[in-house]
Each structure stands twice: as C-alpha cells, then as structure tokens.
C-alpha cells in the first residue's frame, strides 16, 4: 500500500513542479495546490498505513492508527489554505493592476 | 518549568489582536505598539538574565512532559536572539512612525508588525520541529502582508515571487518533517537528537539533513537567494530593515539548531556542503554588491554576503567559530537594520536610489554621512567596532578546522563589503551637489532617533564585546555540547 501511495505522491509532485514552471500565474497556483496535496499525503503515508481503528478511544479497538500525523496534516491544511487564499487574491489584484498573468512579463528590473 | 518563556511570543500576539480594534485611531495604535515593544525588551532582557543565572530554561506546554507535549526551550542563543529581535524591532517601529505613511498605518501595518514579531520570537524559542514550521508560517504570512502593503506595481510583482518561493520551501519543510518522523518517530528536538544519535551516522538521516539544509537555505537566502534582492527592495525602508535584520536570521538560526543539535555527528555531508554553499554565497553576493548602482540592491547583496559568512562559521563547527557565529549574528541584526534605515534616509534625502545621480550630501546631512561611514567600517569589521570580534572568531575557527580556501574567501568578502558600502558613501556624500531633491516631505525626528539609537547600540556592542562574549560563550558551549540541551529538556 505504501508503495502505491509513494508512486501517487511522486506523480502529484511531478505534475505540481511542471505546473510551477509554466508561464501562467493560475497554473502556478494550481501547481502549489498539487504540491501541498502531495506533501499531506506524504505525511500520512510516512507514518505508516497499518490497519487500525480510527483514533477515537470510544472504539475500544486493540490497535489504533497513529493520531499525530493526522493532527500535523490538519494544521498544515489550514495553513496552506490561508496562504492559497492570499495568493489567489494577490494574483487577482496584480492582474487588475499590472494587466497580465504571464510571469515572463512580470520581471521588470528597477522601478517601472 | 518557567512561564516567563512564552511571554516574548504572547506579548506581540495579544498586542496585535488588540490593535485590530483600533483601525482608524492611528495615535492609539502607535502608543500601544510602542508600549508593548518596550515591555517586550524588558521581558527579553529578563529572559537573558534568567538563562545566565540558572542555565537553560524550558516550559512544557499544558504540563505534558517531553517528548509528548510541545516544549519551549530557551538556551543562551535563543534568549540573546529574542533580546536583539526586541531591540531591533522597537527601533524599526520608531523609524516607521516617521516614514511609513498614514495609508499603510490605517491598513493594519502595526498588527502585521506584531504578528511578525510573534512568529520570529516563537521560532527562536520553540523546541519542537513542527512547531518551528508553524512559527515560520506565522512569520511568513505577516511578511507577505507587510511586503505587499501599499500595493504598488513593484510590490505586487515581487510579492508574487516571494510567496511562490516560500510556499515551495514550506512544502519541502513539511516533506522533510514527514521523512524525519518516519525515520525517528518523534518531533521534539531534544528527543530527535537522541534518536538520531542512536541510529548512527549515514544512511537516510544524512539525506534528511541535506533536505533540511535546502529548506532553511531557501528561507535564509544561503546560496538559494535568487528571490532575495528583488523582494527586499520592494517595500519601504522600515519594512526592509525589519526583513533584513530578522527574517534571514531565523533561517540561519534554524540551520544552527538543526546542525548543532540534530545532525552534529556526521560532518562529512551536511557541513561540507554548507561550507561550499557559504563560499558560493559570499562570492555571488560580492559580485552583486559590486555590480549594481542602486542603493537598495547594494544593501540587499550585503545581506547575502553576511549570510554566506555566517554559514561558513557554522560549517567550520569549532568552539571558536560557533562563538563567533553567535556574536556575529547579534552584531549583524543591529547593523543590517541600521544599514537599511540609513539607506532609506539617504534615498529620501537624495530623491533618487541611483548612486551615480547623488552627490555632495555631506554639507546638507553631516550626521547621516558620518553614521553611514562608521557603519560601513563596522560592517567590514574594522577593530574597535562591533563586526570585528565575531568575524575574527569565525576566521580563527575556519583556520583551526583547516578550511583555508574558504577562510580566504570570507576575508576577501569583508573587503568587498567595505568597497561596496564606501562606494555608496563616496558617490552620495562627496563631490558636487547634483540632486535637486525635493524639500523634506515629513519630520524626520523619529527616523533619526531610531537610527541614532541603533548606532549607539552598535558602538556599545563593539566596545563592550568582551562583556558580551561572556554571554555568547555560554551560548556557544551549548552549541558545541548538545548533551547539555538534551539533558535540560529530557531529564526533568
């Protein structure tokens, strides 16, 4: 199971990086979203996918899944959600002000 | 257990929340944030005193003993960095009163400022690797807001790049934490150190150490600094000073922690890579500092050179060089903030950022001129001033560990720093008056006060470096003997 997840995460990373390197700003933001998906799945996978009950004590199970990475992922999800929301609004604002979403045209050295 | 430890984090956090309620009342916002900043200095000073008297202090959140809960740990290094953060940020705050402008102040400048401080202090004090990530994000989110606040075209453009690079590096950070958790099964730094030592050198842990080096290099601007020159030049000088003094230092602090506490055993991979990266950073930074004719660019490349220099000190990893790194970091935080402040005043006085269009400012601004001149000498490390002691110790450490080539590069980099700063000085202050600068737009008392205060502090740090060294050597002892840190956290 871990191998399958590793391959999937690898594909997510590859697609994410490919999108990051494109010219359009929206594709780049989607690329960052794919990267964060990949990394959250990685956190889940790296702590082991052994079968066990969901981490609720009421389940009375013999073994539970590791609760720590789930908390880490939840933290990381909200953080990346906040950053992505900010990034989208920033992209919208710079499209309005600068009139382009092409990263090639956004270089500009000094001043305007 | 010592609840004092969480105050440098809590105080700015509560101040920021409080300030949100006073959006339109700029006067009140200024008073509250100044009062909080002064209290913060006192708190941080108290922390340094406690650590000096009683050794490493730790606080276990919620009473959960490590490794299960989140532990805040203040050794001398963290306490000193928190103190200098408090001092530098207060100066930046006073500087921004006179320079930032009402538009920005009304749009939550001061709350963002305080959130940034909370993130920086939290990163210095935390003893948990995932908590370090969260504090990094608190700091970075506020820095995104501060860098784009105002919304000029240049700011928007540079913020897009700055956010993108930081999202990528944060993603890599989480990935590295995932690998480290899989390899060791813990997140507390002291416990991690024990587990890594048990696993022994080599194998997957050296790969993880290199991953962490890449992550923190992206944050600190060590070799992977391509995003830095553009983005630090975009916001106003007060924010640039804050960034130049604090943000890259947090990345460097994280490098110091990971490579003295976690991955200290095997120096073949991580440390030697770091030495190469440091040397490359110094060379490329020097090339940039010499090539540009723009005050902001030259200053940004000076920041990069000092990052490379510090990394070289960490990589040398002898007792002398680590003491030197701590001393140099303290000097650099003050001096870099001062550099950006004086640069901002210079650009305002000249009405242009290009040094070729400036000239003859010495008659109009003698105080600024002399402060800039002495700062240039301090940055280069001329003996009575504050940059000297740290640089000398780092060079000695480099020679002791036999890194002769890199030591030569770092000595040469000091010359380039001096050349690039004096080039600004000679163009701007000597010669004929060239500029038809507009009359001073605003009162400059706040800016002069802040810069003057930091300048005096820099002089005092230089003259009193022997006294400072007694504190610094206490920090250096823990860096060279991580057992002390582990003992203090785990054996309670």
The per-residue pLDDT for range B111-137, each reduced to its tens digit, is 999 999 999 999 999 999 999 999 999
Residue B301: its pLDDT value, please? 95
The sign of the dihedral angle between the CA atoms of A88, B166, B60, B121 is: negative
CB B195 within 8 A of CB B208: no
Do residues B309 and B424 lie in contact, with contact meaning Cβ atoms separated by under 8 Å? no
Report, as an integer, the average pLDDT of A18-31.
94
Residue to mutate among A32, A47, A76, A100, with most B CBs inside 10 A, is: A76
**Distance, in angstroms, between B58 CA and closest chain A CA?**
23
Give me the residues paired with residue B57 across strands: B74
Give the pLDDT of residue B125: 95
The burial class, CB within 10 Å (0-12 / 13-18 / 19+), for B331 is: buried
**Rounded Cα distance, B296 and B236, in Å:** 10
Within an 8 Å CB–CB cutoff, is residue A97 touching chain B?
yes
Q: What is the average per-residue pLDDT within B437-455?
A: 77
The candidate with the shortest Cα–Cα distance to B139, out of B329, B310, B12, B286, is B12
CB contacts, 8 Å: A111 with chain B: 154
pLDDT the model gives residue B420:
94
Q: Is the pLDDT of residue B21 over 70?
A: yes
Tell me the C-alpha distance between B459 and B386, whole Å. Answer: 7
Q: Which residues from B are below 8 Å from A36, CB to CB? A: 167, 171
The SS3 call for residue A53 is: strand
Q: How confident is the model at residue A109 (pLDDT cuts 50, 70, 90)?
A: low
Cα angle, residue B441 at apex, residues B436 and B443 outer, rounded to 5°: 130
Predicted pLDDT of residue B435? 61
Of A28, A46, A48, the CB nearest to B179: A46
Residue A111 pLDDT grade (very low, low, confident, very high; cuts 50, 70, 90): very low
Predicted pLDDT of residue B442: 55
Mean confidence (pLDDT) of chain B: 91
Q: Is A88 on the interface with B (CB under 8 A)?
A: no
Percentage of chain A surpassing pLDDT 90? 71
User: How far is B352 from chain A, CA to nearest CA, in Å?
Assistant: 11
Residue A51 has pLDDT above 60, yes or no: yes
Beta-carbon count within 10 A of A89 CB:
10
* CB-based contacts of B192, cutoff 8 Å, min separation 6: B129, B180, B184, B186, B262
**CB atoms B160 and A25 under 8 Å:** yes
Q: Please tell me the predicted confidence (pLDDT) of residue A108.
A: 65
What pLDDT is attached to residue B260?
93
Instruction: Give the pLDDT band of residue A110 (cuts 50, 70, 90).
Output: very low
B60: Cα separation from own chain's centroid: 26
User: Hey, are the CB atoms on A94 and B182 less than 8 Å from each other?
Assistant: no
CB-CB neighbours of B364 under 10 Å: 15
Q: Residue B141's closest chain A neighbor by CA? A: A83
Q: Is A75 on the interface with B (CB under 8 A)?
A: yes
Residue of B nearest to A35 (CA): B171
Please report the number of interchain residue pairs, chain A to chain B, with beta-carbon separation below 8 angstroms.
94
d(CA B36, CA A19): 44
Question: What pLDDT is attached to residue B59?
Answer: 92
Contact yes or no for A29/A91 (Cβ under 8 A): yes
Share of residues in chain B with pLDDT > 90 (%): 74
Residues 6+ apart with CB under 8 A from A15: A31, A34
Q: Choose among A49, A43, A68: nearest CA to A3.
A: A49
d(CA B363, CA B358): 13
Residues of B in contact with A32 (CB under 8 A): 164, 167-168, 171
Residue B221: pLDDT over 50: yes
Q: 């780092």: which residue's tokens?
A: B394
What local confidence, expressed as pLDDT, does residue B390 receive? Answer: 93
Q: What are phi and psi of B112, to 5 degrees?
A: -60, -40
B175 vs A97: CB contact, 8 Å cut-off? no
**Mean pLDDT of chain A, nearest integer:** 90
Shortest distance, CA B396 to any CA of chain A (angstroms)? 40
Residue B373 tokens, joined: 């001149």
A39 to chain B: closest CA residue? B175
Whole-angstrom distance, CA of residue B14 vs CA of residue B121? 14
Q: What angle do CA B378, B412, B476 make, to 5 degrees?
A: 60
pLDDT score at B440: 57
- Work out the pLDDT band at A105, boundaries 50, 70, 90: confident
**Distance to chain B for A59, nearest Cα, Å:** 23
The pTM assigned to this predicted structure is 0.94
Calculate how close chain B gets to A71, using CA atoms only, in Å.
Answer: 11
How many angstroms separate the CA atoms of B40 and B34, rounded? 10
Contact: B167, A35; criterion CB under 8 Å: yes
Residues B332-386: tens digit of each pLDDT: 999 999 999 999 999 988 888 888 888 888 888 889 999 999 999 999 999 889 8
Tens digits of residue pLDDT in B315-336: 998 999 999 999 999 999 999 9
Q: Which residues of A touch B187 (CB under 8 A)?
A: 68
Which residues of B, range 349-408, sit inside 8 Å of A by Cβ?
353
- pLDDT digits 0-9 by tens, B68-112: 999 999 999 999 999 999 999 999 999 999 888 888 888 999 999
ipTM value of the model?
0.94
Q: Mind listing the pLDDT tens digit for each residue in B163-209?
A: 999 999 999 999 999 999 999 999 999 999 999 999 877 789 999 99
- Stated as kind and residue range, the H or E segment containing A95 is helix A67-98
Sign of CA dihedral B4, B79, B136, A82: positive
User: Averaged over A13-36, what is the pLDDT?
Assistant: 95
Q: Which of B415, B136, B162 lies closest to B252, judged by CA? A: B136
Do the chains contact at A108 and B154, CB–CB below 8 Å?
Answer: yes
Would you mind telling me the total number of residues written for chain B in this entry? 492
Q: State the Rg of chain A over Cα.
A: 19
B456 close contact with A: CB closer than 8 A: no
Give A-chain residues touching B159 at CB under 8 angstroms: 90
The predicted structure's pLDDT at residue B360: 84
Most confident of B80-89, B220-229, B466-475: B80-89
d(CA A103, CA A83): 19
Chain A closest CA to B229's CA: distance in Å? 11
Distance from CA of B154 to the nearest CA of A (A): 7
For residue B277, whether the previous peptide bond is cis, meaning omega lies within 30 degrees of 0, is no
Q: Do A39 and B187 touch (CB under 8 A)?
A: no
């Amino acid at each position: 199971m871990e191998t399958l997840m590793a391959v999937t995460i690898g594909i997510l990373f590859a697609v994410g990086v490919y999108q990051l390197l494109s010219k359009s700003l929206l594709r780049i933001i989607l690329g960052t979203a794919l990267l964060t998906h990949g990394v959250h799945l990685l956190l889940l996978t790296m702590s082991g996918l052994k079968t066990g009950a969901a981490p609720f004590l009421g389940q009375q199970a013999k073994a539970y899944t590791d609760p720590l990475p789930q908390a880490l992922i939840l933290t990381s999800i909200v953080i990346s959600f906040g950053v992505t929301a900010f990034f989208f609004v920033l992209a919208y604002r710079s499209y309005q002000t600068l009139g382009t979403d092409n990263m090639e045209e956004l270089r500009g050295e000094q001043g305007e | 257990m010592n609840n004092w430890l969480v105050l440098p984090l809590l105080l700015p956090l509560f101040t920021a929340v409080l300030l949100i309620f006073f959006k339109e009342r700029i006067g009140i916002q200024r008073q509250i944030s100044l009062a909080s900043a002064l209290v913060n200095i006192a708190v941080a000073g108290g922390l340094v005193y406690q650590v000096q008297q009683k050794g490493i202090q730790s606080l276990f959140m919620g009473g959960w003993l490590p490794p299960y809960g989140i532990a805040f740990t203040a050794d001398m290094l963290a306490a000193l960095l928190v103190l200098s953060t408090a001092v530098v940020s207060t100066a930046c705050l006073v500087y921004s009163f006179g320079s930032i402008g009402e538009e920005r102040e009304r749009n939550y400048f001061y709350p963002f400022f305080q959130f940034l401080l909370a993130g920086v202090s939290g990163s210095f004090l935390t003893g948990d690797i995932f908590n370090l990530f969260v504090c990094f994000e608190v700091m970075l989110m506020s820095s995104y807001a501060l860098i784009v606040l105002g919304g000029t075209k240049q700011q928007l453009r540079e913020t897009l790049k700055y956010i993108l690079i930081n999202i990528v590096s944060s993603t890599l950070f989480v990935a590295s934490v995932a690998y480290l958790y899989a390899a060791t099964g813990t997140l507390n730094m002291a416990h991690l150190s024990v587990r890594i030592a048990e696993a022994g050198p080599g194998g997957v842990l050296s790969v993880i150490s290199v991953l962490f080096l890449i992550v923190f290099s992206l944050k600190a601007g060590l070799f992977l600094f391509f995003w830095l020159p553009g983005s630090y030049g975009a916001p106003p000088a007060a924010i640039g000073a804050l960034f130049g003094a604090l943000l890259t230092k947090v990345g460097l602090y994280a490098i110091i922690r990971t490579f003295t506490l976690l991955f200290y055993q095997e120096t073949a991979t991580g440390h030697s890579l770091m030495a190469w990266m440091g040397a490359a950073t110094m060379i490329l930074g020097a090339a940039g500092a010499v090539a540009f004719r723009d005050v902001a660019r030259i200053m940004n490349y000076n920041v990069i050179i000092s990052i490379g220099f510090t990394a070289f000190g960490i990589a040398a990893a002898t007792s002398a060089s680590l003491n030197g790194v701590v001393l140099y970091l303290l000097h650099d935080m003050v001096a870099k903030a001062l550099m950006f402040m004086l640069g901002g005043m210079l650009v305002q006085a000249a009405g242009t950022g290009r040094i070729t269009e400036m000239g003859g400012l010495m008659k109009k601004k003698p105080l600024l001129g002399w402060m800039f001149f002495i700062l240039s000498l301090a940055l280069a490390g001329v003996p009575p001033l504050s940059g000297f002691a740290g640089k000398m110790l780092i060079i000695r450490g480099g020679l002791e560990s036999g890194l002769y080539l890199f030591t030569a590069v770092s000595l040469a980099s000091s010359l380039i720093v001096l050349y690039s700063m004096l080039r600004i000085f000679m163009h701007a202050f000597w010669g004929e008056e060239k500029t038809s600068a507009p009359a001073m737009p605003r009162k400059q008392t706040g800016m002069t006060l802040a810069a003057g205060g930091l300048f005096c502090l820099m002089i005092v740090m230089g003259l009193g470096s022997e006294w400072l060294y007694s504190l610094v050597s206490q920090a250096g002892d823990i860096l060279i003997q991580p057992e002390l840190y582990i003992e203090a956290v785990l054996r309670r």
